[in-house]
Structure 1
Amino acid sequence: MRRIGIIGGGASGIAAAITAARNDRKAQVFILEQKEKIGRKLLATGNGRCNLTNRQAVPSCAKVCYRGGNIQFVEEVLRAFSYEDTLKFFESIGLVVKLRGDYVYPRSDQASAVLELLELELKRLGVEVYCNVKVASIAWEGKNFCIRTEETCSVKSFKADRLILASGGQAASSLGSDGSGYGLAKALKHSVTCIVPALVQLKVKAHPFAKASGVRTEAKVTALIDGKEAASDTGEVQITAYGISGIPVFQISRFIALGLHQKKRSEVLLDLLPEYSEDEVYRLLVKMGDKRDDLTAKEWLTGIFNQKLVPRILEMAGVKMQTRVSKLSEGQLQTVAKKCKRIILTIQDTNGFENAQVCAGGVRTKEVCPQTMESLRTKGVYLTGELLDVDGICGGFNLQWAWATGCIAGKASVMRKKK
């Protein structure tokens, strides 16, 4: 009887367990989870609604939707287990889904329902789940892998013929991902790239918008690393007391985090009127001040921006709020227009791993077979999910990666002949 040991009870680990048990009903499949319950991080996805996947999670969109050292690897994985395969997987456990644009959610909008159905399927298939089990080391002992646990665990060791590392990255350690999987992967002859937070808020040095905390505004954010554009995104940006947040900020954060890690100058270019060119902004400002001689600079911008933003923009442009618009020089008008389009924020840090949704970096994918997720360094070992050097943008792409790699690994682990 095959024994399939899965380290990590997150999305990819659960998917691997279900798929392995379905493909070999005689196999003994077990999950080792260090937290008191499996799937805790899953409950937090999509603001509790669980954004399961995305219609754009296809090979042709991989270069846009995923980041990492080898995007071709991502393309091959998505060919092996597609967006449609994910929908079929959830249909098979009784989940009805719905679309919101390209985003796929459970019809109930409840992540808890997704986890409950996954747990029911694990139970139906006889998968053993051990919680509060922290793995200390893994060793091949000639016939099988010996998985040793920390002294605080009631069970001291487990045996497995195949081993699936699904232990996650280093983001949100309170939910189970503490980075310990990287050490286990290294012990199994793998190499790991530098690890930084991704999909995370950014802290701004000498934050010019600190007094506008709580404001949400449409803007374009561009990551500048040593003055060169690395990535950009447009959408609703949230101003916080310490910096900036929101989906567009999350999308570029991994590039900023890498820049900071490499001790490079890391900045964000903020465009508060992305729908206009600078010339168009200038003409708009002139038009709004035309024939309104008594209008103050503060009143002048109130029709465009949130009132908390107006004093900050004028301050950076060197214009006093009570200055009459009719008294502004040509140069001052141009400076205000420029500030609406181009504000440079110096980033001093991210908001850390604990507040990040995922990590950038991980086990190098050149060391893993994309058709099976089997290690090319240690036979019988499979690696999945966030542990790998692949991270997706917001919108269900990271969960698609988890389902795909988990299901591929689970199937392959019971299909390969025993040693």
Structure 2
Amino acid sequence: MKKIIVIGAGASGMMAAVSAKSFGGKDVDVYVLERNEYPGKKILATGNGKCNFTNIVQGPLCYRSSNPDFAWDAVLQFPAQSTIRFFLELGIYSVNRNGYLYPASGQASSVRDVLTMEMKRLGVHVLTNVFVEKVEAEGNGFCVYTKEKTFAADKVILACGGKAASYTGSDGNGYAHAEMFGHTIVPVLPALVQLRCKEKVYKKLSGVRSACKISLFSHQECVAQDSGELQLTDYGISGIPVFQVSRFAAQALREGKEVSALLDFAPDFSKEQFLDFLKRRIQSRPKKNVEEFLIGCFHKKLCDCWIYISRIDKAKLVIELTDDELEKLVRIIKEFKTTVVNVNSFDQAQVCAGGVDTKEVCVRTMESKLKKGLFFAGEILDVDGMCGGYNLQWAWSSGYLAGKHAAQ
């Protein structure tokens, strides 16, 4: 009987185990070795505890990598529709929220639980509180060393995760296992993470939320854009649009480049339209002063900040504003420039950019091109998705392929 060991019982590891046993049946014995006290710990934190497990809107730009075609070619072999059917068979009825799919229960634990139950039903052996110290080649197979025991295996699937959210057990130890077999590790950086900014004004803006378009610049070249609800913190900026561009900030900063962002707090208007909008407000209430002028359009803390930066007297009547002063306000609101000095740490990041170089992995099977019988799944690979269920879709797709082909 063929023995398959899956290292890691996160999303990709559990999917790999289910896939391997489903395809291998009685001919395979599948073991999952998990360092935590229970499987699926990181799943419980996804989607604010509600688990956005995939997304209806899919495309190659939803997945990022130094080898950009790899992820999409893999996802196409087990796409979102297959994920939805798979979880429906396991008992998860999905709810579609603007393309974002969640379990109808509203609980991330439901996704973890059905995977755990399916592993049990299939006869997968799940061993918890087991930390893998080393993986070595042994003949045509492998030896997997833990503190308590050494396991022999015909195939090994590395599904150890990355370095993000280390409190869930992801500390990057899987990269060392891959390097033992000659694999290259693309530099690992925090992604889907907050940005730390230079300006002191953020201490006064902490807690403010606003619609915003963010344009990220590296050496004055725009490298990424996104729109949505911006969250201001005492150290900088957060929120989904910031998360979406953060991996590009992390890469540029690592390369020693200057990184800045332009924040557009009136994204539904062009500059000309916004200027016209302000002029009409002046005509409607000419006796308001500058401090009162923008109340009702933007958060008061933002208004105070912009007026301070503009150096316009807040007691001045709006009817007395010069064209230059009005245009200055428009520029500040539409092009609020901020200097990005760092990204938050791996502990705050939802995922990692970087990982095992996918040029060394077969896209059809997730098998190593360097060591026969060694497979990869999930975040350990140099693939990171956008916010919106894409990182879990990557876990399901890569885990499915790794398990299926390890069993063959």
Counterpart residue number, 1:32: 33
Alignment of 1:93-132 (within 5 A): 93-132=90-129
Q: Tell me the percent identity.
A: 43
Kept in 2: contact 1:219–1:271 (CA 8 A): yes
Kept in 2: contact 1:209–1:309 (CA 8 A): no
In structure 2, distance between residues paired with 1:362 and 1:144: 24
In structure 2, distance between residues paired with 1:50 and 1:40: 12
Does residue 20 in structure 1 map to residue 20 in structure 2?
Answer: yes
Opposite residue 110 of structure 2, the aligned amino acid is A
Kept in 1: contact 2:63–2:72 (CA 8 A): no
In structure 2, distance between residues paired with 1:293 and 1:121: 68
Opposite residue 183 of structure 2, the aligned amino acid is H
1:251-306 C-alpha deviation (Å, 9 max, x unpaired):
00100111111111011110000111111121221221126443111101113211
1:42-93 C-alpha deviation (Å, 9 max, x unpaired):
0111111111111123xxx11x211111222122212211212112211222
Instruction: Identify the match of residue 70 of structure 1 among 67, 72, 75.
Output: 67
Does residue 343 in structure 1 map to residue 336 in structure 2?
Answer: yes
Instruction: Identify the match of residue 193 of structure 1 among 186, 196, 201.
Output: 186
Does residue 355 in structure 1 map to residue 348 in structure 2?
Answer: yes
Opposite residue 340 of structure 1, the aligned amino acid is I
Opposite residue 44 of structure 1, the aligned amino acid is A
In structure 1, distance between residues paired with 2:75 and 2:284: 59
Counterpart residue number, 1:133: 130
The DSSP-based 3-state class of the residue aligned with 1:305 is coil
In structure 1, distance between residues paired with 2:169 and 2:363: 25
RMSD across aligned positions (CA): 1.2
Measured after TM superposition, the shift of residue 393 of structure 1 is: 0.4
In structure 1, distance between residues paired with 2:271 and 2:72: 38
In structure 1, distance between residues paired with 2:73 and 2:329: 49
1:315-337 C-alpha deviation (Å, 9 max, x unpaired):
12222322222332221111001
Alignment of 1:179-328 (within 5 A): 179-290=172-283, 292-328=285-321
In structure 2, distance between residues paired with 1:318 and 1:192: 50
The DSSP-based 3-state class of the residue aligned with 2:261 is strand
Using the TM superposition, name which of 213-222 and 290-299 deviates more: 290-299
In structure 1, distance between residues paired with 2:92 and 2:278: 52
Unpaired runs of 5+ residues, structure 1, are none
In structure 2, distance between residues paired with 1:177 and 1:130: 17
Measured after TM superposition, the shift of residue 203 of structure 1 is: 1.0
The DSSP-based 3-state class of the residue aligned with 2:368 is coil
Instruction: Identify the match of residue 388 of structure 2 among 367, 384, 395.
Output: 395
The DSSP-based 3-state class of the residue aligned with 1:74 is helix
Kept in 2: contact 1:30–1:127 (CA 8 A): yes
In structure 2, distance between residues paired with 1:305 and 1:166: 45
Q: 4+ residue stretches of structure 1 with deviation over 6 A?
A: none
Kept in 2: contact 1:222–1:270 (CA 8 A): yes
Measured after TM superposition, the shift of residue 175 of structure 1 is: 0.7
Counterpart residue number, 2:81: 84
Residues 291 and 147 of structure 1, relative CA distance in 2, 3 Å threshold: closer
1:353-379 C-alpha deviation (Å, 9 max, x unpaired):
101110011111111111110000110
Counterpart residue number, 2:51: 50
The DSSP-based 3-state class of the residue aligned with 2:313 is coil
Using the TM superposition, name which of 28-37 and 2-11 deviates more: 28-37
Measured after TM superposition, the shift of residue 156 of structure 1 is: 2.6
Opposite residue 83 of structure 1, the aligned amino acid is A
In structure 1, distance between residues paired with 2:77 and 2:200: 46
Instruction: Identify the match of residue 402 of structure 2 among 385, 404, 409.
Output: 409
Measured after TM superposition, the shift of residue 8 of structure 1 is: 0.8
Counterpart residue number, 1:6: 6
Count the aligned residue pairs: 407
In structure 2, distance between residues paired with 1:278 and 1:256: 26
Using the TM superposition, name which of 163-172 and 272-281 deviates more: 272-281
In structure 2, distance between residues paired with 1:301 and 1:224: 28
Measured after TM superposition, the shift of residue 144 of structure 1 is: 2.2
TM-score by length of 1: 0.95
In structure 2, distance between residues paired with 1:141 and 1:65: 39
Measured after TM superposition, the shift of residue 177 of structure 1 is: 1.1
Measured after TM superposition, the shift of residue 25 of structure 1 is: 2.1
Opposite residue 123 of structure 1, the aligned amino acid is K
Opposite residue 18 of structure 1, the aligned amino acid is V
The DSSP-based 3-state class of the residue aligned with 2:83 is helix
Using the TM superposition, name which of 155-164 and 395-404 deviates more: 155-164
The DSSP-based 3-state class of the residue aligned with 2:327 is helix
Kept in 1: contact 2:50–2:108 (CA 8 A): yes
The DSSP-based 3-state class of the residue aligned with 1:302 is coil
Unpaired runs of 5+ residues, structure 2, are none
In structure 2, distance between residues paired with 1:194 and 1:144: 29
Opposite residue 194 of structure 1, the aligned amino acid is P
Using the TM superposition, name which of 65-74 and 244-253 deviates more: 65-74
